[in-house]
Amino acid sequence: MHTIDKADEAQLLATIDRWVEREVRPRVKEFDHADKWPAEIVEQMKELGLFGATVSPEYGGLGLPATTYAQIVMKISAVWMAITGIFNSHLMLALAVEKFGTEPQKRHWLPKFASGEVRGGLALTEPNAGTDLQAIRMTARRDKGDYVINGTKTWISNGIEGSCFALLVKTNPEASPRYSGMSLFIAPKGPGFTTGRKLEKLGYKSIDSGELIFDNYRIPADHLIGEVEGRGFTQVAGGLELGRINVAARGVGIAEGALQLATDYAQLRQTFGKPIIEHQAIALKIGEMATRARAARLLTLDAAQAFDRGDRCDMEAGMAKFFSSEAALENATESMRIHGAYGYSKEYDIERLYRDAPLTCIGEGTNEMQRIIIAKQWARRSAA
């Protein structure tokens, strides 16, 4: 379990606050509206150590606990959620290697990941396989000292700009149960590995979501994470808990950001001789928004604390992700309505939060799936 002194945590979070206000907020519209890769901001995130946020110090990372990491994501997402995806997907790649890789794999790859020298993400989704990961079709065939990989991935964050991915494939397509034939590889870009089109999105701009195409892509056998076939599904499932905590934290950030924008506007905008926040209809909305944001934060920190203790936390992470993402969507919608016509204008920040919020209800497993996971785990724990 990683730990951090409270004073050090406070200093780190204050540094993130200053960076967001000085560097991110003034330029977010420029990047978001143009759907432009924020190269300068990515370099700053490298300097801040965000690409090694959860990587152990022995491999060059900050070694932050999930609770601190979640708070960083909340702060950034309150202004611009999209850039958190640039380092979150990358950290899930790093987590897979640190948690399940061999020591030589860790020594070789983790320092490169932590510094941001090599950046990438998690390549799971295929055109016919999203939530049902066992339905993937990508295959890896052993050929002496290599594996030869064929297939296509889609909706991969950092797919265009990234250079290395944790790639989920089937090493035994005939295996039963299906998950027992799945393996996870460290897959750097090279011959046979090309990127397709950048997918256009409603929100979540500037971070690239792309297609990855593998045509007889040859990779050394020592790139198999853990160097044992058939463990890929379990390796991915462990990382998804942190991924869902991240998405929950994004939801908290959007919910809190939308609340702050609504509050600021409602205190300035006047109708019938007084600020609109003094009208009961608006006050009721603000009260509900504040409660949702607070509950989302507490659920997310609860899940992060369980993760830091090393507890199984798929239920807690599912609860946090489900509730926080719905809170983000509801608060963004209510904030836009409080802004009235201005909320529909691209000159105001709320329209970005309104476009970004729906992704949190889909990413890292749909909220429909989260509710099923929660119910199953609740039933098991109640029976015990």
Q: And the tokens for 177? A: 């149960």
- Which residues, in sequence order, are bridge partners of residue 220? 146
- CB count in 10 Å sphere of residue 226: 19
Catalytic residue among 21, 117, 364, 368: 364
The answer to whether the CB of 261 falls within 8 A of the CB of 122 is no
Distance CA 93, CA 9 (A): 24
Residue linked to tokens 């924020």: 38
DSSP letter string over 167-214? EEEES-TT-SSGGGGEEEEEEES-TTEEEEEEPP-SSS-SS-EEEEEE
Question: If 0-12 CB within 10 Å is exposed, 13-18 middle and 19+ buried, where does residue 35 land?
Answer: middle
Question: What's the longest Cα–Cα distance across the chain?
Answer: 80
The answer to whether the CB of 335 falls within 8 A of the CB of 352 is no
At residue 104, what are phi and psi to the nearest 5 degrees?
-60, -40
Question: If 0-12 CB within 10 Å is exposed, 13-18 middle and 19+ buried, where does residue 108 land?
Answer: middle
Q: Are strands 120-123 and 164-170 parallel, antiparallel or unpaired?
A: parallel
Distance CA 236, CA 221 (A): 19
Residue linked to tokens 């989260």: 370
Which sign, positive or negative, has the C-alpha torsion 28, 32, 34, 37?
A: positive
User: 196-218 as b/e, with b when 16 or more CB fall inside 10 Å?
Assistant: eeeeebebbbbbbbbbbbbeebe
Verify whether residue 241 is a known catalytic residue. no
Distance CA 336, CA 354 (A): 7
Q: And the tokens for 85? A: 């995806």
Which residues belong to the active site? Answer: 364
